[in-house]
Amino acid sequence: MKKRLTFGKAAGVVLVTLFAILCVLPLLYMVAVSFTDSESLYIGLKDLRFDFSNFEYAITKRNFGLALKNSVITVIGSCLLVDIVSAMAAYGFEKKPVPGKETLFQGYLATMMIPGQVILIPMFMMINKAHLTNTFAALILPMVGAFGIFLMRQFMVAVSNDLLEAAEIDGCGELRRFVTIVLPLVQPALITLTIFTFNATWNNFLWPLIINTRSEMATLPVTMSTLSSNSTTNYGMVMAGATLTFLFPFVLYIFLQKQFVEGIALGGVKG
Amino acid sequence: MQTAKPRWTRRRRNQALIGAAYIAPSFILMFIFNVAPIFLSIYFSFTKYDMTAAPQWVGFDNYIKLGANKYLGMVLENTVQYVLITVPIQTILALLIAAFIAENMKNRYGSFMRSVIFIPVIASLIASAAVWNVMYQPKGGLINQCMNFLGFESVNFLGKKATAMPSVAAVAIWKSTGYYMVIYYAGIMNVPGEVREAAIVDGASPIQRFWYITLPILRPITYMIVTLGIIGSFQVFDLVYKMTGGGPGRATLTVAYMIYSYAFQDKRMGYACALAVGLLVVILLIHQLQTLFFKERDGQ
Amino acid sequence: MKRILAVLLVMALLMSCVSLAVAEEKKSLTVWIPQYQFSKAEDAISDQDFWDGVFDKFEEENNCEVKVEIVGWGVYGDTFFTSLLNEDGPDVVYVTDNYDLVKRDLLLGLDPYLTDEQKDNYILWSTAPENAAGEKVIVPMDDGVAIGYVNTDILAEAGYDELPLEWDAFIEAGKIIQEKTGKRAFLQNWGATSGTSALMLAFWPYYFQAGGKMLDENGQISINNEAGLKTVEFLKKLFDEGIFDEDIVTESESVDKFANGEVAYIVADLNKGNTTFTPAGVNWQYVFSLKGDAGFGARTATDSFAVNKKTLERGNDELAVKALVYITSGEVMDAFHSQIFYLPPYTKDASFVKDEALYALTSAHSDAIYVVEEFEAKKSFEDTLLANIQDMFQGNLTPQEVLDETMEYYNTQLKEE
């Protein structure tokens, strides 16, 4: 019995390890191909060169530097906006006696069911009519959604009412209470939401593609997708683009691994 | 009493106003970017609208036309096929890996494995699609090179009807398993220690413990993961757009891709909106069914 | 921490304001041109540098600022239409499909701005579509025929001096080539993900060779006819006889394989020989096209340059037309064709010819060069036809069903007028 179990356990460890390898293998392959100059795909070790010409080309000739800047600005703007707006809304919903708030909250939740494609077309028309095409605002403002507010509210429940009342009696003003007491208490939730928003914004493709048509406003995924065309595909270059797109979140992940994983887990369990 | 009451109400009213002010920014943004577009979509679906001239009311024409669209059934079938491949596999795989790591690999190696399995989550779909496109290449792609090495024939994964959709789905599974695994892992870690210890004392085997204790406790998480998975999978666009363009034939044509091409390729917003509204109805129906399913299971 | 947040917030706000503010004193122009420089060679000038250099002179002469945006092909078709709807869309724009733009009157009528001499200088001026007022709205350019390339070594190995070009003879020769050399006889890009790019190389040329016309007398697309059936049957036969690779490929793959010496014959754009095949060391030859019942036939596409109608409101319409004329002038185009990408001349005053042999070949067959015309919902029509032909290869449709289904779907679902 015992022996069989250890065997099962060993097999499990091997399987998990294999799956983990499977998870990173395509990304290693991506990096490897990005160092080749081959238009055909038979990539052997002989094709690997350790010069960065594909990267250099992508950054100097194909606007990847600019796209990186655009992506970073969009992500920072989105995270700030989503965090602030969601935290405020959650606080209002959870701690304030606003009439009809539960109905409104249910309405918010219902929007989570809406597929993106349903609202894509009217949103495009609205942004266009508002002359907001080719702005960061067009990329950032729509990132606020029901999920963030819902998530923040889950955490807002745990903020003690007594503490807030005590602070109020001490003469601590409304806004100050929110900023100095509530926000620090829900900090884990803010981190979680930041990670979710980061992921969603960084990877957003279709919306930036149709709403920001000027190349100076293109984000990384859009710029990446301009690399391939029907008649020429230099795989090395496309993979260099993919690597560049992947690099920034990956470095962030390496440094903030714990926050990433815990943030997602927290969001999942609470959500 | 008489003096206290108005003061209390004034305070309450004050608080309500302050609360409303806190909610207002989210309300404005939610209204503009989530609610208004739905109603506009529904309105457009009853019009002929080409993005330049004003929308022209056509009644149910778009829906009638949609009903007569001979590829709609096939496209829905493809989409459902994609959902049926991705959602169960990514959910079960995530659960099994999370449970196994939680049970047997609570060490540094296990946490390293978790970190590694999570990595695809942070790769963008467009980059993932590009990478897997190269991996799937019939001649020289990594997968076929490996298969040739092992003595198998090359397979044109994205070019054959039978393999195209599963190949696209595999990328989605690759990308999201780590995400759900992390959520499951946290859920399992939240299972109170006493419950597990009691079960161990009762002589339950690990598999029994998993089946009778962990799984039921994880039910709310499973419900959420399946819901998110279904909604997400029904909207699959980026992968199809970048990997197959809907082909070969119409093997990987999905509803979202069809909406995109009607709207932005043909500039027929009205018709595209009718299809989008149809998709919304389907998702709501499936969500209802799924809720019923989970409720019924809860009732047992 | 708070300070950092505040700075970031202000930065984000500023950035969005900056992109909103477009108050300038000098007249300015935005020009959209897709990427044409595909070479990664050290000395290859990038599109951006080329056009920026070209416009230096123009900016000085006209006291204006010209901003050239190079847009990647991967998203060009998706973005240039919506960009013309935008308030800040480009003034001068490179146009691929023009049907929707003309129908929605998004382009400036050019006649009033051009002298007869200028119009006469444009080789394809007469084919340009007109707006409701009868003014031509684009300057069409010849994108160059898709030309055939033969690997002469493979041909010789199979015992041929010349590739038989008649359809049936070609198939027979293909079988012999594959048998004798073990190499692929022919490749077409039926694995393309976009209908337009597949049909450009692998459908329309045969349709023209079979004597087909794209539009009927009412200007409607019509392929369900004898020529259409012959074409699809020919494709099916090529596939059934194993002439196509069983793994139908994309255009770049077939080019790669030809460059690798794996294929006897392919059809590709007219730059590939000099830029790709010769450097790869392949011994190759041009072939104008295969030969169907109606003789030779090759397609050319007419992309074009046009001016955004919104320039009227912006008050830079004259400047925009001036820029358009400048871009398409013989002087600029000769430089473009010699430094960036070779295409046939745009105007009669252009003189640069890259490849005399090619020029002689296309001149000799000028009556067999057909233009792929524009019609409503063209892209979706082409996607539909591509999907149905792929379905036929998978054994699900007969050639007649391909045509029936495509036309039925087009008429009931895609066409609105």
pLDDT of residue A32: 86
Q: Residue C319: pLDDT band by 50, 70, 90 thresholds?
A: very high
In a domain, C19, yes or no: no
Assigned token pair, B45: 């679906």
The pLDDT, as a whole number, for residue C89 is 85
Judge whether C50 lies within some domain.
Answer: yes
Residue C260 Cα, gap to closest chain B Cα (Å): 13
C350 and C382 inside one domain: no
Please state, in angstroms and rounded to a whole number, the distance separating the CA atoms of residues A182 and B42: 40
Say if C343 falls within a structural domain.
yes
- Measure the CA–CA gap between B117 and A56, rounded to whole angstroms: 30
Same domain, C89 and C163: no
Same domain membership, residue C329 and residue C295? no
User: Does C270 reside within a domain?
Assistant: yes
The most confident of B32-46, B149-163, C42-56, by mean pLDDT: B32-46
Cis peptide before B248 (omega within 30 of 0): yes
Q: How confident is the model at residue C338 (pLDDT cuts 50, 70, 90)?
A: confident
Contacts of C97 in chain B (CB under 8 A): none
What's the pLDDT tens digit per position in A165-204? 888 888 888 888 899 889 998 888 898 889 889 988 998 8
Distance (Å) from the alpha carbon of A157 to chain B's nearest alpha carbon: 15
C263 is a domain residue: yes
Q: Write out the two tokens for B232.
A: 């997400």
Q: Which residue of A has its CA nearest to C258?
A: A40
Comparison of pLDDT for B286 and A263, the residue scoring more: B286
Question: Best mutation site among C11, C36, C75 for testing chain A: the one with the most A CBs within 10 Å?
Answer: C75
Query: C402 and C281 share a domain?
Result: yes
Residues C258 and C405 in one domain: yes
Bridge partners of C269?
C146
Task: Round to whole Å and give the CA distance between A172 and A189.
Answer: 24
Q: Which residues of chain C neighbour A214 with C-beta distances below 8 Å?
A: 69, 83, 88
Confidence of residue B297 (pLDDT cuts 50, 70, 90): low
Q: Which of A155, A242, A132, A251 is nearest to A198 (CA)?
A: A251
Read off the pLDDT of residues C196-212 as tens digits, 9 standing for 90 and up: 888 988 999 999 999 99
C-alpha distance from B234 to closest chain C C-alpha (Å)? 21
Please tell me whether residues C164 and C44 are part of one structural domain.
Answer: no
Does domain B71-299 fall under CATH 1.10.3720.10? My reply is yes
**Is residue C409's pLDDT more than 90?**
yes
Which residue ranges does chain B devote to CATH 1.10.3720.10? Answer: 71-299
Question: What separation in angstroms does the CA of C35 have from each of A183, A248, B209, C70?
Answer: 48, 26, 61, 6
- Whether C158 and C61 map to the same domain: the answer is no
Q: What is the CATH number of the domain that holds C81?
A: 3.40.190.10
Mode of pairing for the β-strands spanning C27-34 and C92-95: parallel
- Per DSSP (E only), the strands in C226-371 are 263-269, 284-287, 291-292, 295-296, 298-300, 304-307, 369-371
DSSP A230: S
CATH superfamily ID and name for A63-226: MetI-like (1.10.3720.10)
What band does B1 get if pLDDT is binned at 50, 70 and 90?
very low
Is there a contact between C268 and C147 (Cβ–Cβ < 8 Å)? yes
Touching subunits for chain A (3+ Cβ pairs under 8 A): B, C
**Chain C closest-CA separation from residue B258 CA (Å):** 10
Q: Which residues in chain A have their CB less than 8 angstroms from residue B119's CB?
A: 23-24, 27, 250, 253
Tell me which residue of B154, B135, B179, B172 sits closest to B252, measured CA to CA. Answer: B172
Q: State the pLDDT at residue C138.
A: 92
> In the Cβ-directed half-sphere of B171, how many Cα atoms lie within 13 Å?
31
Residue B300 has pLDDT above 60, yes or no: no
Looking at residue C76, what is its pLDDT? 80
* Cβ contact B46:B57 at 8 Å: yes
Q: C70 and C36 in one domain?
A: yes
**Average pLDDT over every residue of C171-184:** 92
Each residue's pLDDT tens digit, B176-227 = 999 899 889 888 887 777 777 777 777 778 788 888 888 888 888 888 888 8
Q: What is the pLDDT of residues A35-90, one digit of tens each?
A: 877 655 566 666 667 778 788 878 877 788 889 999 999 999 999 999 999 999 99
State mean pLDDT over B4-25. Answer: 80
C238 and C271 within one domain: yes
Mean residue pLDDT across chain C: 86
Close Cβ partners of A177 (under 8 Å, ≥ 6 residues apart): A164, A167, A168
pLDDT above 90 as % of chain C: 43
Q: Is residue C9 part of a domain?
A: no
Q: How far apart are CA C108 and CA A248, in angstroms?
A: 43
pTM: 0.86
Q: Which of B26-30, B295-299, C79-83 has the lowest mean pLDDT?
A: B295-299
C6 touching A (Cβ < 8 Å): no
Q: What is the ipTM of this complex?
A: 0.85
Round the average pLDDT of chain B to a whole number and report it.
87
Is A72 in the B-facing interface, judged by CB distances under 8 Å? no
- Using alpha carbons, select from B212, B218, B223 the residue that is nearest to residue B188: B218
pLDDT above 60 (res C8)? no
- Top mean pLDDT of B108-112, B263-267, C224-228 is at C224-228
Residue of B48, B51, B52 to mutate, testing the C interface (most C Cβ within 10 Å of its Cβ): B52
3-state secondary structure (DSSP) of residue C152: helix
Rounded percentage of chain A residues whose pLDDT exceeds 90: 23
- What pLDDT, on the 0 to 100 scale, is given for residue C233? 96
Buried b (16+ CB within 10 A) or exposed e, A115-153: bbbbbbbbbbbbbbeeebbbbbbbbbbbbbbbbbbbbbb
Cβ of A173 under 8 Å from any chain B Cβ? Answer: no
| Confidence class for position B295, pLDDT limits 50, 70, 90 | confident
Total number of domains in chain C: 2
Is residue C296 domain-shared with residue C306, that is, in the same domain?
Answer: no
How far CA A98 is from CA of A149, B22, C70, in Å, comes to 16, 10, 52
Do residue C256 and residue C380 come from a single domain? Answer: yes
Mean predicted confidence (pLDDT) in A127-148: 90
Q: What local confidence, expressed as pLDDT, does residue A9 receive? A: 84
pLDDT at C323 (0 to 100): 93
List the domain boundaries for chain A: 63-226
Domain hosting residue C175, numbered range: 146-300+376-414
What amino acid occupies position C39? S
Q: How far is Cα B236 from Cα A155, in angstroms, rounded to an integer?
A: 31
**Digit-coded pLDDT (tens) for B101-118:** 988 888 888 889 998 999
β-pairing, C184-187 vs C263-269, is: parallel
Q: Is the pLDDT of residue A124 over 80?
A: yes
Record: contact B266-C379, CB cut-off 8 A: yes
Give residue C280's pLDDT.
86
Q: Is C384 found in the same domain as C264?
A: yes
Predicted local distance difference test score (pLDDT) of residue C112: 92
